[in-house]
Structure 1
Amino acid sequence: MKKALIASVVALFVTGCQTQTVATQPPVDAAMAIQAANMTIPVTRTYKETDSANLQLDLFLPDAKQQPAKLVVWVHGGAWMRGSKDETMQRNGNLVRSLLQKGYAVAAVDYRLSGQAKYPAAIEDVNDSINYLVANQQELNLQADQVIVMGGSAGGHLASVIATANNDKAPFFSSAPQYKIVGAVDFYGPVDLHELKGNSGDVDHDAPDAAEARFLGVSPRQNEALAKEASATTYVDAQTPPFMIFHGTDDGVVPDSQSTLMADTLKQAGVPYSVELVKGARHGDPVFDTDKYVNQVVQFTQQHLK
């Protein structure tokens, strides 16, 4: 009976958690049930208002501490056309909890999807979300001048572009970055939209309504210059921060050749990197949130975000 009551409380709270505001706190009993279920409640902030969307971020904070927490930013995937920060704990909960246990704060950010606004909106939004955290770091007890960015799939693309262009006057920055990227982790993200060609097994990238065409507003086959402008490989240079890359060999959405291309580009520029091709792993495979890979990401974070 007791277990059923706790389960009911958890279910009721989880159903409503997506509509929680910063000022709203869960009932004490619900909070206790959540702690028992090893769940984590973020602080939610609106960081930007646009004509098509009011954009929010979820800030997961480590246990209360006197020293400001160093910041990791997570960018969700979804082919630039779907997905949300609300999926972070479901898909990457092990990673988030592991970083929190080491004292890092993790911000999961929303951005305008391709049905709401075309390139460069999503990149602008991720940049603006980090600038918001920098501007409010004292209030939020953060140390956000130096950041590690991470993401999966389309989020891996956005994180990689933000990281490689951080030291450049890139055309898509409507406001200059007020932070320094000191590392990037890319899970199976596309890094060169022009080279994302043909049929990868599950996706025809040459189709006029392919995800990257919707993201750009035009097919990369029709506008090579724009595709290159929106690609992480374009901005790699000697000042690019270290990268950690993971990709599955059975990825039918984004071919693993995208990650080997990124690795080659980083190598040519003399940038520290690691790339791991996971045999048999598919796009968005849950294996990437297991301890084997999460522990590597945590070590990378500790090495570069000191």
Structure 2
Amino acid sequence: MKRTFLALMGICLVSLSLHAQDTTAFKPVEYPDGFTSQLNVVYAKAKDWEGKMDLYLPPKSAGPSAVVINIHGGGWNKGSKESQTGFSTFFKMGFAVANIAYRLTGQATAPAAVEDARCALIYLIKNAKELNIDVNRIVVMGGSAGGHLALMAGLLGNDHRFDGNCPGVENIKVAAIIDKYGITDVWDWGYGTRITSRSAERWLGDKAKDRKFVASVSPITYVNKNSPPIFIVHGDADPIVPHEQSVELHKKLKELGVETEFITVEGGEHGKFTKEKNSELNKSIVAFLKKLGIAK
């Protein structure tokens, strides 16, 4: 009995050790003097799950600030907000940053992640005065699955179909979306003739073959002439998310007269761009936001 107890204790200690390593594997976000941080702020709840975000806020003396909501990728089934640390481009522009976590496939299937992205946006709108945020200068950004969620959060506008966990806010809008190689057509990614992924089917769960539902969680469905401006970047050698998905999104935006910029990274894989190219992309993002009057 004693040996069994000691063995169980050993397993628990190893598990705790591994968990500690997981949570300390990423460097903390470095932010400028005068900024303040609020970590693990609860923006939504779903049963026993708490949606948390890390906030990095500029000095209030500068007046209400623009904010970028950052959403990590990982095929909706992995990843963490702690892996996201490179916000210096936005800090230099005086932006606040809201870096969010959301429910992964193992916790809840679609549309849970979309619901969470929307709730994070709505939380910032609800608490804009307290956080000193300018609701007219909200940008949503993400890469891969995070790009998909950024598009969904912004393109839904005042369509409240996924807002059941955070009702009561109207006039929901974002000033711009930054989509980095995001999934725009979930059905195509799961079952199309190009690059496909089992991540789509797993995330869709029991709705995996419901084409109407899959369309409802696909950003391309919601593009219209009133859509917010969208900056798109995608490598043309992406082996995970088809470059053509971004091509088709950009084409539809242009046809409808929506402000958009699309940068194709020649030979670029799935977010694996050179340091020089990333620097160029950051400059292009800044120029895009300044052109829109979001960055001052």
Fold match by TM threshold 0.5: yes
Residue of 146, 158, 173 corresponding to 1:180: 173
1:240 alignment counterpart? 227
Q: Residue 118 of structure 1 contacts residue 217 of structure 1 at CA under 8 Å; is this kept in 2?
A: yes
Letter in 1 for 2:77: M
TM-score norm. by structure 1 comes to 0.78
Which stretch of the first structure deviates more once superposed, 255-264 or 288-297? Answer: 288-297
Q: CA deviation at 1:138?
A: 2.1
Q: Does 1:43 align with 2:43?
A: no
Answer yes or no: is 1:138 the counterpart of 2:129: yes
Q: Deviations over 1:79-127 (max 9, x none)?
A: 00111111110xxx1xx11111111111111111111111111111111
1:231 equivalent in structure 2: 218
Q: Mapping of 1:63-78 within 5 angstroms?
A: 63=59, 65-78=61-74
Counterpart for residue 59 of structure 1: 55
User: How high is the TM-score relative to the length of structure 2?
Assistant: 0.80
Task: Structure 2: give runs of 5+ residues left out of the alignment.
Answer: 1-19
Cα distance in 2 for partners of 1:242, 1:75 equals 18
Could you say which residue in structure 1 is the equivalent of 2:11? none
Deviation of 1:41 (Å)? 7.0
Specify the alignment match of 1:113 in structure 2. 104
- Distance in 2 (CA, whole Å) between partners of 1:173 and 1:81 is 21
Counterparts in 2 of 1:35 and 1:137: CA distance versus 1, 3 Å: closer
Gap change, CA 1:262 and 1:218, over 3 Å in 2: farther
Answering whether residue 260 of structure 2 is matched by residue 282 of structure 1, we say: no
Aligned-CA RMSD value:
2.8
Q: Secondary structure of 1:80's partner?
A: coil
Paired amino acid for 2:262: V
User: Which deviations, in whole Å up to 9, do the C-alpha atoms of 1:234-255 show, x marking residues without a partner?
Assistant: 1111100111100011111101
Superposed CA deviations along residues 169-201 of structure 1, whole A, max 9, x for unmatched, are 253232355531121110000101122245756
Q: Is contact 1:62-1:101 (8 Å) kept?
A: no
- The structural deviation recorded for 1:62 is 3.0
Aligned to 2:258: 271
Paired residue secondary structure (2:185): coil
In structure 1, stretches of 5+ residues that fail to align are 1-14, 20-30
Q: CA distance change for structure 1 residues 17 and 254 in 2, over 3 Å: closer, same or farther?
A: closer
Contact 2:36 2:58 in 1 (8 A): no
Cα separation, 1, equivalents of 2:231 and 2:122: 23
Change (3 A) 1:292 1:238: same
CA distance, structure 2, for counterparts of residue 48 and residue 164 of structure 1: 20
Which of 161, 184, 187 aligns to 1:171? It is 161
SS at match of 1:74: strand
- Give the corresponding residue for 1:10: none
Please tell me whether the aligned partners of residues 200 and 253 of structure 1 are also in contact (alpha carbons under 8 angstroms).
Answer: no
CA distance in 1, matches of 2:162, 2:112: 8
How far, CA to CA, are the matches of 1:122 and 1:294 in structure 2? 26
Distance 1:229 1:294 in 2: 31
CA contact (8 A) 1:212 1:219 kept: no
Choose which of 147, 150, 153 in structure 1 pairs with 2:138.
147
Secondary structure of residue in 2 paired with 1:213: helix
Matched residue pairs, number?
264
Q: Which amino acid aligns with 1:211?
A: S
Identity, in percent, stands at 31
1:17 CA drift (Å): 11
Contact 1:76 1:84 in 2 (8 A): yes
Alignment of 1:27-38 (within 5 A): none
The one-letter code sitting in structure 1 at the alignment partner of 2:161 is: P
